[in-house]
């Protein structure tokens, strides 16, 4: 069976939770939504600015989330 793959930047707590877990575990316990997508050629600065924007809008940083 497939393993959960975490490719997010330094999300230490999330990686510790998912270490060795099967894909079914991830499907049962985690939900996400894609807020925006970018072409692979999009400048890193633009992608990071959009990420900061969505974290602020969704209140998903600091005490409100695991970002």
pLDDT in tens, the chain (67 residues): 445 444 445 466 777 778 888 888 888 888 777 778 888 898 988 988 888 888 888 777 766 555 5
Cα torsion angle, 10, 38, 64, 7, sign: negative
CA distances (Å), origin 7, targets 4, 15, 57, 64: 10, 9, 22, 21
For the whole model, what pTM was predicted? Answer: 0.51
Q: What count of residues does the chain have?
A: 67
Query: How far is it between the farthest Cα atoms of the chain?
Result: 36
For residue 67, the model assigns a pLDDT of: 55
C-alpha closest to that of 21 among 39, 44, 42, 4: 4
pLDDT at site 2: 46
pLDDT at residue 66 in the model:
57
pLDDT of residue 16: 78
């Amino acid at each position: 069976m497939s393993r959960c793959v975490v490719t997010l930047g330094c999300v230490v707590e999330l990686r510790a939770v998912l270490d060795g877990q099967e894909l079914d575990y991830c499907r049962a316990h985690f939900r996400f939504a894609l807020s925006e997508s970018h072409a692979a050629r999009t400048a890193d600065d633009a992608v990071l600015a959009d990420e900061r924007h969505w974290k602020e809008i969704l209140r998903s940083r600091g005490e409100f989330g695991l970002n």
